Amino acid sequence: MLNTMKMDEQELISRVRGGDEAAFARIVGLYKDRIVNYIYHLTGDYEKAVDLSQETFMRVFFKADKYRPVAALSCWIYTIAGNLAKTELKKRRRALVVPLEEVQNDLQSGSYSEDAPDTGLTRNLRTALDDLNPRYRIPVVLKDVEGYSQEEIAAILKKPVGTIKARISRGRHMLRRALERSVSGARELALAKEFENGRV
């Protein structure tokens, strides 16, 4: 079945090279939701994930002649999506350096908005994942969320399998430590509240 799918994908991308929009629509239908989900897990921003997934597929269409069938088509698409997400994360890091005057002006004008707080394990996991360096976050998301094998991830990221194994292991360890700290902090906060209310 997997070989049949690979053959079908090879035929589809071959037709896309010839400008076949129906074949392109089929590829988008196969991968759109997965690519949006993947980019969302990397960036933490759903709207940006949708935008970047559209950019991913535009590149698939216009650069179809650059695809080489040494790996599955999905590996090539995920590589494009991952590169766009990494570029977005770099832009964000540069944008974090904001002059204090701009922050004060925003606060005074009331032009900022605060998202509704999220609670529980999902929030803690999202925060821990956002804090993870992309070199660890991307392999962990590809493995644990997208379900790719280490060999497929190595093909997507163009790294040796040993490097991928090490980064997944290290990334999982860092996530576990971050989640343990957040759970520990939540317990301490609950105890402090009980103490304040005279229950302890």
Choose the final residue of a domain: 113, 135, 154.
113
20 alpha carbon, distance to own chain's centre: 29
Shared domain check, 167 and 76: no
The pLDDT of residue 78: 94
Q: How much is the mean pLDDT over the chain?
A: 80
Nearest in space to 57 (alpha carbons), one of 84, 89, 91: 84
Q: Hey, what are 66's tokens?
A: 């650059």
Shared domain check, 72 and 43: yes
The 10s digit of each residue's pLDDT in 99-140 is: 444 444 444 444 444 444 445 667 777 788 888 888 999 999
Choose the final residue of a domain: 90, 113, 136.
113
Shared domain check, 86 and 8: yes
Shared domain check, 103 and 59: yes
Shared domain check, 88 and 149: no
Nearest in space to 52 (alpha carbons), one of 43, 61, 62: 43
pLDDT(32) > 90: yes
Rg of the chain (C-alpha set): 21
What mean pLDDT do residues 191-195 have? Answer: 58
pLDDT(1) > 50: no
> Number of structural domains, the chain?
2
The 10s digit of each residue's pLDDT in 61-108 is: 999 998 988 778 999 999 999 999 989 988 877 655 444 444 444 444
The pLDDT of residue 129: 84
Q: Write out the residue range of the structural domain in which residue 3 sits.
A: 1-113
Please state, as a whole number, how many other Cβ atoms lie within 10 Å of the Cβ of residue 107.
10
Q: Which helix (H) or strand (E) holds 97?
A: none
Nearest in space to 84 (alpha carbons), one of 98, 63, 99, 101: 63
Shared domain check, 57 and 136: no
Rounded to two decimals, what is the model's pTM? 0.66
> Is there a contact between 150 and 168 (Cβ–Cβ < 8 Å)?
yes
- The CATH number that applies at residue 143 is 1.10.10.10
Position 181 confidence tier, pLDDT thresholds 50, 70, 90? confident
Shared domain check, 136 and 75: no
Shared domain check, 104 and 39: yes
Shared domain check, 126 and 83: no
Shared domain check, 157 and 65: no
Shared domain check, 125 and 108: no
The pLDDT of residue 102: 46
pLDDT(8) > 70: yes
- The CATH number that applies at residue 28 is 1.10.1740.10
The pLDDT of residue 191: 58
* Distance separating alpha carbons of residues 135 and 45, to the nearest angstrom: 19
Shared domain check, 152 and 61: no
Q: Hey, what are 142's tokens?
A: 């590809």
Place of tokens 């956002």: 130
Choose the final residue of a domain: 113, 131, 153.
113
